[in-house]
Amino acid sequence: MSPAATGPDKALAPPRAAAIAGVIFAVLFSIGLALIRLAVPADPTEPGSWFGDSARGTALGLALNLVPFAGIAFLWFMGVLRNRLGALEDQFFATVFLGSGLLFVAMLFGAAATAGGLLAAITAGSVRLADSEAYYAGRGTSYVLMNVFAIKMAGVFMFSTCTIGLKTGITPRWVAYVGYGCAVVLLVVITNWEWIALLFPLWILLVSSYILVADFRQRHAESGTDEAAQPA
């Protein structure tokens, strides 16, 4: 094998498997988040009258069922990126990248599990909404886990990923700068407007789309070179 085949350009080729996983995560997380935002009132102190609407309950149940698959796709996205970077990975930013990503998934699962348990208890009649301490505790816990801790960890993940992208050249500079801006918004604005959380999956979708386009162009260029090199 020639040295050029193992050089930095080859090592930093866009990881298509990570891009596919990123697209899956972005789509599932966006759909689930939109369903939750539309079904559940933004105010965690709302008394819970919305539970009487069967359509809202169905939407919430569907959103909660999408969460595990979104989390799996996100873990796959992280794993493929780290594996592709290999020895070029900076240990400091790699630690922040891995830690924030795992914490995001843990908080996401925790929020979904809390909401799912509360929904099941209310459906079974074990929890009564009128002045129920269990309802307010579960609702508040799920709200804080998702909108405060999980989304802020997503912002930290974006910071570390953008920095790694700038250092290794795996993504263009403008994608990293967009990510920095979105991360700042997530860290500052999320508690004031919950729809801002969609910036995270949208940025993951942007990164994944760029990787897929770059991979397609690279494969097309390589196939064109191989055809030109063949004898007439």
Residue 122 pLDDT exceeds 70:
yes
Q: Tens of pLDDT along 167-208?
A: 887 788 999 999 999 999 988 876 667 788 899 999 999 988
Asked, for residue 226, whether it belongs to a domain, the answer is: no
Asked, for residue 223, whether it belongs to a domain, the answer is: no
User: pTM of this prediction?
Assistant: 0.80
Q: Are 80 and 15 within 8 A, CB to CB?
A: yes
Residue 127 pLDDT exceeds 70:
no
Residue 2 pLDDT exceeds 50:
no
Residue 47 pLDDT exceeds 80:
no
Residue 5 pLDDT exceeds 50:
no
Dist. CA 148–CA 101, nearest whole Å = 15
Q: Any idea what DSSP says for residue 45?
A: T
Asked, for residue 3, whether it belongs to a domain, the answer is: no
pLDDT band per the 50, 70, 90 thresholds, residue 49: low
Nearest to 71 by CA among 39, 103, 49: 103
Asked, for residue 68, whether it belongs to a domain, the answer is: yes
Asked, for residue 1, whether it belongs to a domain, the answer is: no
Q: What is the pLDDT of residue 108?
A: 94
> What is the overall mean pLDDT for the chain?
79
Residue ranges in 125-198 assigned as alpha helix (H): 133-144, 151-168, 173-189
Q: Look-up: residue for tokens 């970077």?
A: 85
Asked, for residue 222, whether it belongs to a domain, the answer is: no
- When divided into structural domains, the chain yields a total of 1
Asked, for residue 220, whether it belongs to a domain, the answer is: no
Residues 6+ apart with CB under 8 A from 2: none
Dist. CA 96–CA 203, nearest whole Å = 18
Residue 106 pLDDT exceeds 90:
yes
Q: What is the pLDDT of residue 59?
A: 85
Q: What is the pLDDT of residue 191?
A: 60
Write the CA distances from 55 to 39, 66, 105, integer angstroms: 8, 17, 27
The parent domain of residue 18 ranges over: 14-215
Q: If DSSP states are collapsed to H, E and C, what string results for 33-57? A: HHHHHHHCCCCCCCCCHHHHCHHHH
Dist. CA 24–CA 75, nearest whole Å = 11
Residue 211 pLDDT exceeds 90:
no
Percent residues over pLDDT 70 in the chain: 75
Q: What is the pLDDT of residue 181?
A: 94
**Phi-psi domain of 169 (left: phi exceeds 0; alpha: psi -120 through 50; beta: other):** left
Q: Tens of pLDDT along 58-92?
A: 888 899 999 999 999 999 998 888 777 766 667 78
Dist. CA 3–CA 220, nearest whole Å = 22
Asked, for residue 144, whether it belongs to a domain, the answer is: yes
Give the pair of three-digit tokens for residue 138. 């579960």
C-beta pairs of 222-225 under 8 Å, 24+ apart in sequence = none
Burial status of residue 8 (CB atoms within 10 A of its CB: 0-12, 13-18, 19 or more): exposed
Percent residues over pLDDT 90 in the chain: 29
Q: Are 154 and 25 within 8 A, CB to CB?
A: no
- Which amino acid, residue 141? T
